Structure 1
Amino acid sequence: MVLPARLASALGQHPDDLTEDALQNAIDNQIPEAADLDWKKDFYGGSDAGKKELAKDVSAMANTVGGMIVIGVDDGKRDHAHELAPVDLVQGRGEEWIRSVLANWVQPVVPGVGVRMLKSQRHGDKIYWLLTVPSSPRAPHAVAAPGNDYSFRVHVRHGTTTRTLSESEIAQRYRDRFQAASDDVNRLHQVAEDGTGYLSSFLTRTVEDSTPALTYYPAWLTLSSVPAVRGHYPLTTQAQRAAGFDRFRALAAGAVTTSLMPQHPVLVGRRQVRFEGTSTGQLHQDGSFYGARPLNLRPDRRQGPDQLSQIGIELDLVALVQSAAHWAAETGATDDLMLSAALHRFDDNDDPVKLIVTDDVFQHGPVGRLSLAAAEITADLRALADDKHEAVIVAYSLASDLLADMGAHQPHVLTPDGDIQTNRLSSDWKRMLTGW
């Protein structure tokens, strides 16, 4: 989760790693409240008034810069950490209750809120509640009682307090949200364009009269992605790029196939890591991603159109989607992930190709040119990173669009409910499914 950098500096460690000793250090150092930090002595009440207060505090932070609410530290009415005051664990009002209140009292729901219970080592059975709230791309978030959509308020943090926005301020926040969505689309297209440009230069490059890679790999599948809430993984030094590269290799090894595992050397890009070969791509420090795999394209022995493996496209798409989501999550990015998949030919050959489902002549697909239009989708980042079936669902949607442009009715092995029909795979393809 991406939180204001000031928090880690003020608290001495990342908010996700706070301990009771760290809270005591905050008291000793009289760490003040701010727009991104709220010390609270008491837990929220179970009445509607208490639920509304919880919703107001969380939505206000999400509408501002994000931050942290610490329940169990008294500010002594001095607006700084004054004294440890851990609270009792109230039956029926734990993490599930907190999330239920936020889901029912805040519109739209604030994505990525962290809820952590910290047991006190100094005060018996007492506890602290640590709520971490990222700045939200879906702001403004309004507070309204369940079932009452006609009376709502939008709150923001103002220094150490919370205030209500006026009608004109709310309108401006909505304009900001729509502009941010447009900026995300522009960023996605930029990542795709820059990545494809780099791929083209790699394919056409010759060194000491060597044969360019384009000769062997003229057609490629690419995937670009941009998270709605950007992350940050420092990639400005050789050591940082090497660490990022090694971490991505480990993440890619856990995909349904290992086809996207990059090969050394680690290459330099501005605030990014680059890699080349049969797995080519860029890892951006904000969690954006570009990956490319050569299409399984081979000549027809009967002098007909070149043959293109449909199964290869489908399985590579799953691995690309997983790798993109894992990299974004690794950088701390949250909320949605925008993805764009495309097919490319770099040899200026516009001849039709024949989709091949299996080597059985009765399983050959239609003949058509590679789709020129990208397929795009937006999905929940955390779901993609945590569940391989979610990645298959997204890959199925992308593959459906790309294949439909070429005359194929649907993917052959991916299903819309997130499964891979392994009974349709040859033994060679099954051996590739190392992560299924």
Structure 2
Amino acid sequence: MVAKAAADRLAESDDLDWKEQLPQPPRDGRWNELAKDVAAMANTRGGLIIFGVRDATCEMVGIDPDEVNIEQYAQWVRNHVQPYLPDLTFTVLTSTDGTTSVLVADVPASPMAPHLVYGTAARDKDQQAAVAPYRDRDHTAWMAEHQLERAYRDRFTRAQRAEEEVHHLLAHAQETVSAQLPWPAPSARYRVPLHA
């Protein structure tokens, strides 16, 4: 599917990001690019970040699978993105002839959005900063205050609805069970003294 998308020159969008090279470590305490891109997709509607495809031409240049360090990438995201993204996955895909490999980061849409990316501001190395990125068509932008407010309101609304649904299901289960079965009341007493 990746080879077909690249051959069809499928343009980048809010849920597809082509990257020519593998993720790089953060430099000089600045933003981690991988963390920023992952948070942006999670804050939008999820999607795929595919490493090994040139974004301008959609040419599959591939990656060296021996250079892939999935544990390291996951740690960068854990260290730089809050709240945590538990369902993020990285997968190396290799062509059937074994000549070309790509790395796919599958970023699900997150019910915990907005996710903030933490890093050191370039102008003030002692000052940690946090921003909320999102995908705007084929590029990453930063949420303004009103977008953050709405994202948090949406998160809290989802959480409240989920809690209400759990309470509703629990009440329904209790009503159903209590109407059909008598509840036994077990009791017990010790046959041997406790101090023995």
User: Contact 1:86–1:120 at 8 Å: present in 2 too?
Assistant: no
What is the aligned partner in structure 2 of residue 142 from structure 1?
116
Matched position secondary structure for 1:31: coil
Alpha-carbon distance in structure 2 between the residues aligned to 1:190 and 1:100 = 38
Shift of 1:54: 0.3
1:177 to 148, 155, 171: 155
Letter in 2 for 1:218: P
Alpha-carbon distance in structure 1 between the residues aligned to 2:191 and 2:86 = 44
Backbone CA RMSD of aligned residues: 2.8
Aligned residues: 187
Alpha-carbon distance in structure 2 between the residues aligned to 1:362 and 1:137 = 50
1:316-352: per-residue Cα shift (whole Å, max 9, x none)? xxxxxxxxxxxxxxxxxxxxxxxxxxxxxxxxxxxxx
Q: For the structure 1 residues 172 and 87, does the alpha-carbon distance in structure 2 shift closer, same or farther, using more than 3 Å as the test? A: same
What is the aligned partner in structure 1 of residue 8 from structure 2?
29
Matched position secondary structure for 1:109: coil
Indicate the percent of aligned positions where both proteins have the same amino acid. Answer: 29
1:69 to 29, 49, 56: 49
Note if 1:362 corresponds to 2:187: no
What is the aligned partner in structure 2 of residue 55 from structure 1?
35
What is the aligned partner in structure 1 of residue 20 from structure 2?
41
Alpha-carbon distance in structure 1 between the residues aligned to 2:119 and 2:71 = 18
User: Contact 2:116–2:130 at 8 Å: present in 1 too?
Assistant: yes
- Listed as ranges, the matches of 1:167-316 within 5 Å are 167-199=145-177, 203=180, 217-219=181-183, 297=184, 307-308=185-186
Matched position secondary structure for 2:170: helix
What is the aligned partner in structure 2 of residue 84 from structure 1?
60
Alpha-carbon distance in structure 2 between the residues aligned to 1:105 and 1:148 = 16
| Structure label with greater radius of gyration | 1
What is the aligned partner in structure 2 of residue 340 from structure 1?
none
Alpha-carbon distance in structure 2 between the residues aligned to 1:138 and 1:154 = 12
What is the aligned partner in structure 2 of residue 107 from structure 1?
82
1:27-86: per-residue Cα shift (whole Å, max 9, x none)? 3333332211212222122342796110110000111111111111223x26xxx32221
1:140-169: per-residue Cα shift (whole Å, max 9, x none)? 111112897741111001111110011232
Matched position secondary structure for 1:185: helix
1:77-134: per-residue Cα shift (whole Å, max 9, x none)? 26xxx3222112464x51011011001111222221011122344464x531111111
Letter in 1 for 2:17: D
Shift of 1:198: 4.2
Letter in 1 for 2:159: A
Q: For the structure 1 residues 48 and 363, does the alpha-carbon distance in structure 2 shift closer, same or farther, using more than 3 Å as the test? A: farther
Matched position secondary structure for 2:132: strand
Structure 1, unmatched stretches of 5+, are 1-21, 204-216, 220-296, 298-306, 309-353, 365-436
User: Contact 1:156–1:163 at 8 Å: present in 2 too?
Assistant: yes
Alpha-carbon distance in structure 2 between the residues aligned to 1:150 and 1:363 = 64
User: Contact 2:16–2:48 at 8 Å: present in 1 too?
Assistant: yes
Letter in 2 for 1:109: Y
Q: For the structure 1 residues 59 and 363, does the alpha-carbon distance in structure 2 shift closer, same or farther, using more than 3 Å as the test? A: farther
Give the number of the structure with larger relative contact order, counting CA–CA contacts within 8 Å between residues 6 or more apart.
2
Shift of 1:200: 5.4
Q: For the structure 1 residues 173 and 148, does the alpha-carbon distance in structure 2 shift closer, same or farther, using more than 3 Å as the test? A: farther
What is the aligned partner in structure 2 of residue 367 from structure 1?
none
